[in-house]
Amino acid sequence: METLRATNSVDWGRICSDTFVPLEAATGASFEGRIEHVKLSSLGVSRVVCDPCRVARSDRAIRGAPSDDVLVNIVEAGTCTMSTGDGQAVLPAGVAALCDADRPYTLGFAAPGTVMTLQVPRSVLPRRSPRRIGALASTVASTTSSATVLRHFLHGVLEAGATGIGDVDELASTTVGLLSLVMTDADRQLHPPGEPLAPSAHFLLIRDFVDRHCTDSGLTVEQIARRHRVSRRYLENLFARHGGSPSAYLRAARLERARALLEADGRLPLVEVALRSGFSDVTTFGRAFRRAHGTTPGAWRR
């Protein structure tokens, strides 16, 4: 992983331009910013941490250095203001915004902020993606599964970049698959029905769904399969590729919720812990907890 630092507008404009596309930067007199960057085949994954500033992709910069890249900016901290020819949008933490590098735009932070940025050549996007992506129309809320999974995955890529990237092609393929889902949530027309999804990306999406819905005691493997329009056999094979099963992952997710509740409140009745964690009754919860931890929930809490 490469880390670039700047303490003034000139250096900030330079390292932003070197990492992404030619940009013009404006900062205050006192400024600190850094970019952590990992190259993933033809993709770029970056974490941008900065004091108040503004960067702009101008018509002049586009004419001088045209680019066919798509940039995905996921706001991690602070609030970002994005301006394009379509207008202006305020992006709070958790929101992802897509934009074309061949269209003018401005990103600004009035206070210190952090942004995860994924830079992708349009040539690797799904074949039927439209030529233009409207930045302001293509925002995805933090509550959507696709943006959440992509953000966590990019974090993992950056962490791996500090120690050594593994299978770059597999990571790049998974990244593009997750990005396709973000584009779907941003604009349904960007991802036509039936577009194939890489199994690794599909696995991450389903796993995130289970993490968020495991407290529903009625959730079953069959419902997970139906929710994602796949057969149970496909779902079983998908999890088997990662050394497990959907039922085991669902049970582990519920047990993790239960463990957190046991740690947080020593007086919460065990039946309440069981129900809040997605177990149908305290007996089933007790058996599952003993198998996983070798002791009863009550003894574990004590």
Domain residue spans of the chain: 2-191, 198-302
Using 50, 70 and 90 to split pLDDT, how confident is the model at 196?
A: low
Residue 134: per-residue pLDDT: 45
- For residue range 121-163, list pLDDT tens digits in order: 888 775 544 444 444 334 555 445 677 788 888 888 888 876 6
What CA–CA distance (Å, rounded) separates 155 from 153? 5
Q: Which residues, including other chains, have CB under 8 Å from residue 107's CB and lie 6 or more apart?
A: 54, 55, 56, 73, 80, 81, 82, 115
CATH code at 198-302: 1.10.10.60
Burial of 148 (0-12, 13-18, 19+ CB in 10 A): buried
- Whether 212 contacts 250, CB under 8 Å: no
Q: What is the mean pLDDT of residues 268-297?
A: 92
pLDDT of amino acid 162: 62
Please provide residue 146's backbone torsions phi and psi, each rounded to the nearest 5 degrees: -60, -45
Contact of 38 with 165, CB cutoff 8 Å: yes
- The conformation of residue 89, written as its DSSP 8-state character, comes to E
Per-residue pLDDT of 58-81, as tens digits, reads 989 999 999 888 888 888 899 988
pTM to 2 decimal places: 0.61
Strand order in the sheet with 80-84: 24-27, 53-57, 105-109, 80-84, 87-91
In three-state secondary structure terms, 5 is strand
DSSP state for residue 128 in the 8-state scheme: T
Indicate the CATH number for domain 2-191: 2.60.120.10
